[in-house]
């Protein structure tokens, strides 16, 4: 039987936890509902499958190349503009960069056959055409994030003459390197069979997979730590992250299967056999200046997976930056917003 001392300790811990919970409830009521997307933007193009947004800035320089940000299909890009103090988008906009973002639309049942060929060779290319019209005579800079980084790498390899500089953030290139957990999960799955009935992969299915990779950290640990939040701003950022994490879009079956089979299972990108619209994606055509950022403890994109870009591209101005922490810290951590993102924005502003 437990001793009276241990019973008393447990009782005291429960009382302390209850007090923290009551304070948290009161603080949450003060914070109220939170919104995502702190930076004003303009809708430039509303097309099948995507929207193109522009973030006007008062310090914008006419001579600057436009920056096009390409995000993943897996989550929504609002994490790039989480709040006024934690905004990747604002970090570039405020340094004079004409900043644009592709926001992928939620797929509908009849979009089941929309493939990576459509996303990369059609949708990104249409955005590049718009930027060429709005900034005549200027190449565009590409910033790709996670899966969107793979998209940006592919587009730049197919269209190197259109690209000024390329930045990749936590971007998989060698999908088998670094003992990737996602590769181990994907290698024996029949993805065509998975999407044969509905043609769409639901967000709930994908969320359960990603949360299942780190269940303790993403459930118990996070919510226990939440009890000790003594700052309304920190709590608001936590609630924004919660809203972002569980508001993921569905995936088209064709694009999901193509990415999972040809890249995760068959690793075609680094093997030189990945094709889009009949064109081979040759990483040796990446001759533009490149900054490749990876996270030191990323459980989704291991460092060797991202670092493989350096050994396959042909850029004479290639550099790698390692960010402390995990996958999401690159976008939202205080260290990234204090040092990493301003350094990347300043690098873009340097002449080629």
Catalytic positions, please? 146
Q: Are 99 and 90 in contact (CB under 8 A)?
A: no
Q: Would strands 140-145 and 67-70 be described as parallel, antiparallel, or unpaired?
A: parallel
Q: How far apart are CA 303 and CA 293, in angstroms?
A: 9
Element at 45 (helix H, strand E): strand 42-47
Q: How far apart are CA 87 and CA 255, in angstroms?
A: 28
SS3 251: strand
Q: How far apart are CA 132 and CA 130, in angstroms?
A: 5
Cα separations in angstroms, 342 against 54, 88, 170, 296, 331: 20, 9, 17, 19, 12
What are residue 293's phi and psi, to 5 degrees? Answer: -110, 130
């Amino acid at each position: 039987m437990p001793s009276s001392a241990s019973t008393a300790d447990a009782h005291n811990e429960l009382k302390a936890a209850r007090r923290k919970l009551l304070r948290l409830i009161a603080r949450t009521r003060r914070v109220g509902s939170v919104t995502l997307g702190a930076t004003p933007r303009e809708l430039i193009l509303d097309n099948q499958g995507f929207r193109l947004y522009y973030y006007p800035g008062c310090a914008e320089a006419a001579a600057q190349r436009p920056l096009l940000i390409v995000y993943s299909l897996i989550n929504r890009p609002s994490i790039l503009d989480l709040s006024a103090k934690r905004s990747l988008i604002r970090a570039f906009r405020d340094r004079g960069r004409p900043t644009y973002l592709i926001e992928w639309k939620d797929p509908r049942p009849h979009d089941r056959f929309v493939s990576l060929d459509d996303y990369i060779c059609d949708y990104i290319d249409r955005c590049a055409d718009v930027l060429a019209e709005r900034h005549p005579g200027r190449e565009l800079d590409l910033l790709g994030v996670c899966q969107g980084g793979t998209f940006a790498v592919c587009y730049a390899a197919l269209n190197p003459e259109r690209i000024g500089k390329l930045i990749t953030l936590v971007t998989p290139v060698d999908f088998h390197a670094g003992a990737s957990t996602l590769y181990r999960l994907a290698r024996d799955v029949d993805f065509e069979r998975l999407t044969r009935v509905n043609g769409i992969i639901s967000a709930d299915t994908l969320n359960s997979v990603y949360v299942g990779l780190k269940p303790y950290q993403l459930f118990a640990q996070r919510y226990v730590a939440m009890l000790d939040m003594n700052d309304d701003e920190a709590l608001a950022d936590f609630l924004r992250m919660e809203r972002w994490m569980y508001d993921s879009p569905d995936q088209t079956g064709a694009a999901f299967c193509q990415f999972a089979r040809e890249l995760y299972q068959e690793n075609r990108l680094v093997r030189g056999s990945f094709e889009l619209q009949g064109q081979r994606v040759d990483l040796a055509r990446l001759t533009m200046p490149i900054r490749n950022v990876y996270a030191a403890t990323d459980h989704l994109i291991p460092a060797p997976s991202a670092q493989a870009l350096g050994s396959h591209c042909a850029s004479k101005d290639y550099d790698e930056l390692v960010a402390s922490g995990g996958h999401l810290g690159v976008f939202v951590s205080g260290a990234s917003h204090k040092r990493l993102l301003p350094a990347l924005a300043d690098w873009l502003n340097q002449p080629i």
